[in-house]
Structure formats: C-alpha cells, structure tokens
Amino acid sequence: MDLPVLKYLDILIGLAVVMLMGSVLVTAVTQFVLSVSYARARYLRDGLSSLVQQIDRERLPEKTALYIASRLLRNPLIGRAPSPLGMVFTWIRNRGRLLLGKAELPGVNPADVIQREELVLFLLQWAAGEGLLLSQDEDRYSQQAARRIHKTLEAFAGASRAAAEASIHAFIGHWKDGRWRAWRILPAIWQLIGSSGLGIGSRLASTWRIYRAILDRRLESEAAKIRQSLNAALAQLGVQPDEALKKIRERAVGNERAYPGAAALSWYADAIASTVSAQLLGRVNTWFDNVIARVADNFSLEAKIWSAAAALIIVLSVQLDSLALLRRLETDDKLRALLVEEAQQQSKAYEEAEKKLKEAQ
C-alpha cells in the first residue's frame, strides 16, 4: 500500500539531498577562493606585523613589519611546499611585486599557524644572520644576479666581453641603492647594451636580465637593511640575538634532559621566558593570544562574506527554487527515487568511512 506519508518523506529526503549538494558546492567555492588568496595567512601576516611593530614603531614601520611578517611565515620549517597551481600563483604575485618595486617572496606557501615560541625564535635567528630565512636571501638574490650577469655576458666575445662586464657591474653599482623606476632604468640599460652590436632579440633579453640583476642586488641590500633595523630595535630592548639564541638553546637542551617526557614546545617556552629580555616578551608574547583571536575573527568574517556571495551566485545561476523543486519532486517519481537512492548510498559510504576510522584508531 502506497502511504502518502512515505511519499512526503521521500520528497523531504530529495529536497535535503539537493540542498546538501548545493551547500557542498558553496563550501568548495569558498574554500578555493580563501585558499588561492591565502586569506588565513594574510590575516595572520597582518596580525604578526602589528606584533613586530610593538617592538619599535620608529625603526620597524608598517611596510618593514609587513615584510618581516611575510618572511617569518615563509620559513621552510613551518611553511608548505607549493603545489603546481600554487607555483603559478606565486609567479604571478612576484611579477606584480616586481612591477611595484617590491621584494619578491620565496616560493614557499605561507604558514597558516605559528606558535609564539616560533615567532620569537625566527625573529632572533633572522636578526642574528642565521637560519633558513637568511639562506633564502642569499640563494634568491646573490646567486640569481650572478647567473643573469653571466648569461648576459655570454653574448659578448673577446675583448668586448671584459669591457661589457666592467660597464655592467659599474652600472649595477650605480643603480642598486638609488631611487629608481622601471621606466627610467630600462631605457638606460637599453642604451648601455646598444653599443654591443647584438641583435634585437639578444638586446631585449640582455636588457631584461640586467634589470633583474639590478633589482636582485637592490632587494638584497634592502633585506640587509631590514635585518639591521630589526637588530637595532632588539638592541634597544637589551636583546643581542646571537647571545639570546645561545642561551635559549642551552636552556632548552637542559630542559629536555631534565624533563624528557614533556612536550618539546614546553622546553623552548621555558627557555625563552627564562633567558630573553622581559621588554621583548612583554611586547610580543603578552599580546600574542589577543592578536591571534582577532586574526581568527577577521578570517571568519571574510569566510562568511565569501560563503554568502558564493551561495547567492549559485542560487541565481542554477535558479534553485525550493518551492519549484518541491512541486517537481511531488510529480516526478523517477527523480524522487533517484535522489532517495543517492541519499542511501551516501549514508552507507559515511558509515563505512566511520567504521574504518574507528578500526584505524
């Protein structure tokens, strides 16, 4: 006997399946947008930059603090290796930064999470001129500039190569520390290469390589200046980075020997609290939890905005009308049966996945 109540139950199940599929699509679109835009890492960077400014606003202004925070989150110890799609977006982002005269960022996806102990350690390591952050600077700028200059000089032959090398190095030394813009320096490079007798293609390629070499040298000197500013800010608080790191490591190893069963983070937390100047910790650690809470709130707000926008676009594009769907489910037996079957399959798949998870535990 076909009971009406069972038919209505099937209609509700079908409606629930369609709405669930829509919500999954909204979630997927929202997560894609947030992931591509590095939203979580972006808000974390802004929060960390405010903590960095707490150290010394005069020596570490907003732009400098933002750069330091961006570099801290791209430390390979906490950052993520980029996916093929992430490498494409990194390349696009760095091309935009080059056009604006800003420093390129390493090809490491920024971390979404950082512990307060990691923040202090990375700051001290970079200021002391050690660790992976400094290696990124040296690998990215000095070696890249040398490779570009060498590749440019390959087009020259004989005595002209030695003359060209001297001219190029003098040219780079003149421009790397000054105020310049691409539209000013590119014509000057073009004129420098003009006497080489190179073809138009080689001349264009050489002009671009020298421009990038100058930019690499300039950004290398800027990174060094930022480290000097950070060192000066820490010194004002009575912190010598190399000495502080030595004491932290000695205390952390002592904690590990005394409390081998404790978490590694607690070893460093005690070491930092016991050896680093209270002036630095009071400006960074004390405010860390509050700043991270604001970061979470800001990210949550943007996620909600993107979810609402994605839901509105999807509803308007597919014309998802609940009343019209209910009427169709009431009259279309095949569609109703198909959705009920899909719901049963998904429920069974969920139960199997839950069972495997319990067995694995």
Helix boundaries (H) for 80-179: 84-99, 116-128, 132-137, 143-153, 159-175
What is the rounded CA–CA span in Å between residue 53 and residue 60? 6
pTM given for the model: 0.71
Q: What is the pLDDT of residues 29-39, one digit of tens each?
A: 999 999 888 89
pLDDT classification of 107: cutoffs 50, 70, 90: confident
Whether 147 is covered by a domain: the verdict is yes
121 and 224 share one domain: yes
What is the rounded CA–CA span in Å between residue 233 and residue 236? 5
Number of domains in the chain: 2
Whether 253 is covered by a domain: the verdict is no
Mean per-residue pLDDT over the chain, rounded:
78
Q: What is the pLDDT of residues 286-298, one digit of tens each?
A: 899 999 999 999 9
Whether 163 is covered by a domain: the verdict is yes
Task: Tell which wins on pLDDT, 93 or 10.
Answer: 93
Token pair for residue 287?
């405010």
- Helical axes 322-331 vs 4-36, angle rounded to 10°: 140
Tell me the residue type at 49.
S
Predicted local distance difference test score (pLDDT) of residue 49? 94
196 and 332 share one domain: no
Tell me the residue type at 154.
E
22 and 48 share one domain: no
Whether 251 is covered by a domain: the verdict is no
Enclosing domain of residue 16: 4-33+321-360
